[in-house]
Chain A
Amino acid sequence: MKAVEDNPDGVSRADIVVGIPSYNEAHSISIPTQQSDRGLSKYFTDRSAVRINCDNNSPDGTRNAFMETPTDNPKIYISTPEGVKGKGNNLRNLFEKVVELSAEAVLVVDADVESISPQWIRNLCDPLFENFQFVTPLYVRHKYDRMIANHVAYPLTRALYGRRVRQPIGGEFGFSGELARTYLESDSWTEEVENFGIDIWMTSIAMISRVQVIQSFLGRPKIHHLADQEAGPIPLFNDVVGTIFGLMCRYENFWREVKWSRPTAVYGFGTELEVPPPVHVDLDSAWERFRSGISTHWPLYCEFLHSEVSAKLEEVAGLTRETFEFPAALWAKVLYDFAWAYKKRIAPEDVLLSSLIPLYHGKTLSFVLETEAMNTQQVEEMIEDQCLQFEKAKPYLMERWFSE
């Protein structure tokens, strides 16, 4: 797909590639560019390396900001054709270039990440030279940062594919050149994967490919722009959930054999933690979106929610805001029913996924109310309990999915 390539040093081979996907990140891309360069120069002096900015023809000057950042290691700029956007398309271009360069290890870091340090590069890359093929980050995030990971992506991928990967859509990854080729040649690319679905797709494909996955402790909380959350979660939500449901349909013979979950390995050290910056959740808006959305979409819900689930949901919808609670076991069955409805094409994909958003707002509201007074560790334990509810409810999913 590559349409534009600027390779001023004529790099034709590299052991390590650091990919930085972007769209309009001129203001921030120099931070990951410089920090990754320092990491490569400090920890991987005996390896050839290159940094690649994979962009969408950003009109804000991202290309110049990247290419003009002073670095020791060479840089390559690649871009999708004009008019083609999406993080997934950027990474598809990256995979293509990685295969061309015969790279052994590939790292991806977000272009907007401010807290990246050279240590991140070491911790994401080192395990790739020790038989691991896919590295996900393990950093402390504020309890309300990226709640879609806590309530959808983590519990679903864990219950489906049987691996506990705490940040399956973290944005920072490490993977082998071999896995990059697997991604490039996969026939499961969809429009959602070409956009924000790419992170969960990469994690899921790694699990399904049964490669050795490791979580690497990065030592500092992820600090980045929260633009996608402030603008509302709709594109991100639909891409992530659509990708998960799409993979469920494609790989049903894999996940039907998976019972409970297994841990992954961990790299690095994990007790001295910095406190992540707070994330504010607008509870009034979440409550309003839940209440109005549930009445708007109720006729659609009744077409596919199991009768016991819809009865419980009706009960939850009748609670006052002060006593509001969306139980984890119910949330698991709601998501499983939506996945089944996706498979059965009960409604157009975008209509179905958008109708899940009000319930997601209800779940996040309930989570905030329950955890306001909790510290990070207590919240982590609660999320682990929620994951167990998803694993316990899996026979319910199997029953509906394979017999109805």
Chain B
Amino acid sequence: MPKILIVDDEEGIRMLYSMELEDEGYEVVTLPDGKDLLQVIRKEKPDCLVLDIKMREYNGLDLLQEVRKKHYDLPVILNSAYSSFKVDLKAVAADYYVVKSSDLSELKAKLKVVLETRIPPEQ
């Protein structure tokens, strides 16, 4: 069962995503912020990271740069309420950028693609 790690500072989003993605057959782990993100990735070994950008104390684009240094091939989907961060060149380090919506069909479609094409982590 593919494991998805969701990082979002809104509890409602974490709950909604957990419910919907678990219904799709994914195992879901959530984090309320970027604190300990690298340790959690190391421990949980997720198959994909869904990362919010504008969080209270963390910026998802900066977190993404840190993630890529240690987990070069981990699929990452940026998930923001704002489309304006697409302009930031740091966003190109993500596999996809999905604007938040109550309809999760785009996010689910992108998850399917990244999981189908992911490169297995080196042992």
Known: A260-B113, A265-B69. A377 touches B92 (CB 8 A): no
**Interface contact B93-A260, CB-CB below 8 Å:** no
Task: Answer whether A259 and B116 are a contact pair too, CB < 8 Å, given A265-B72, A266-B89, A377-B87.
Answer: yes
Residue in chain B with minimal CB distance to A265: B68
- A62-102 contacts to B (CB < 8 Å): none
Any chain A CB within 8 A of the CB of B90? Answer: yes
CB atoms of A131 and B94 under 8 A apart: no
Contact status B69-A266, CB under 8 Å: no
List which A103-118 residues lie within 8 A (CB) of chain B.
none
A271 interface hit (Cβ, 8 Å): yes
Within 8 Å of chain A (Cβ to Cβ): is B27?
Answer: no
B115 to chain A, nearest CB (A): 11
Chain A-chain B contacts (Cβ-Cβ < 8 Å), number: 53
Contacts of A262 in B (CB 8 A): 73, 75, 95, 117, 119
A145–B108 CA distance with the chains assembled, in angstroms: 37
Residue B65 at the A interface, CB < 8 A? Answer: yes
Interface residues of B in 53-95 (CB under 8 A from A): 65, 68-69, 72-73, 75-76, 86-90, 92-95
In Å, the complex CA distance between A268 and B68 comes to 13
How many chain A residues touch B (Cβ–Cβ < 8 Å)?
A: 23
B92 touches A266 (CB 8 A): yes
- Give the distance in Å from the alpha carbon of A264 to the alpha carbon of B86 in the complex: 16
CB pair B94–A271 under 8 Å, yes or no, is: no
For B70, give the chain A residue with the smallest CB separation. Answer: A131
Please name all residues of chain A whose beta carbon is closer than 8 Å to the beta carbon of B92 when the two chains form the complex. 138, 164, 166, 215, 263-264, 266
Chain A residues lying within 8 Å of B87, measured Cβ to Cβ, are 271, 377
Once A212-B72, A259-B116, A260-B117 are accepted as A-B contacts, the answer to whether A265 and B89 lie under 8 Å apart by CB is no
- Cα(A112)–Cα(B32), bound, Å: 49
Which B residues are CB-close (under 8 A) to A166? 92
Q: How far is the CA of A269 from the CA of B89 in the complex (A)?
A: 7
| Shortest CB distance A217–B (Å) | 5
B89 touches A217 (CB 8 A): yes
Once the chains bind, are B119 and A269 in contact (CB under 8 Å)? Answer: no
A266 touches which one: B68, B86, B95, B117 (CB < 8 A)?
A: B68
- The residues in A between 243 and 272 inclusive whose CB is less than 8 angstroms from any CB of B are 259-260, 262-271
A138's partner among B73, B89, B117, B119 (CB-CB below 8 A) is B89
Which residues of the partner chain B approach A270 to less than 8 Å between Cβ atoms?
A: 88-90
Q: List A residues at the B interface (Cβ < 8 Å).
A: 130-131, 138, 162, 164, 166, 212, 214-215, 217, 259-260, 262-271, 377
Instruction: List the 7 closest A-B pairs by CB distance, nearest first.
Output: A270-B89, A265-B68, A266-B93, A260-B117, A259-B117, A212-B72, A271-B88
For this complex, 20 residue pairs linking A to B, each with C-beta atoms less than 8 Å apart, are: A130-B69, A131-B69, A138-B92, A162-B117, A215-B92, A215-B93, A260-B113, A262-B73, A262-B117, A263-B76, A263-B94, A263-B95, A264-B93, A265-B69, A265-B72, A266-B89, A266-B92, A269-B89, A270-B88, A271-B87
Further contacts, 15 of them, CB under 8 A, given A162-B117, A260-B117, A269-B89: A164-B92, A259-B116, A260-B116, A262-B95, A263-B92, A263-B93, A263-B94, A264-B92, A264-B93, A265-B69, A265-B72, A265-B93, A266-B90, A266-B93, A267-B65
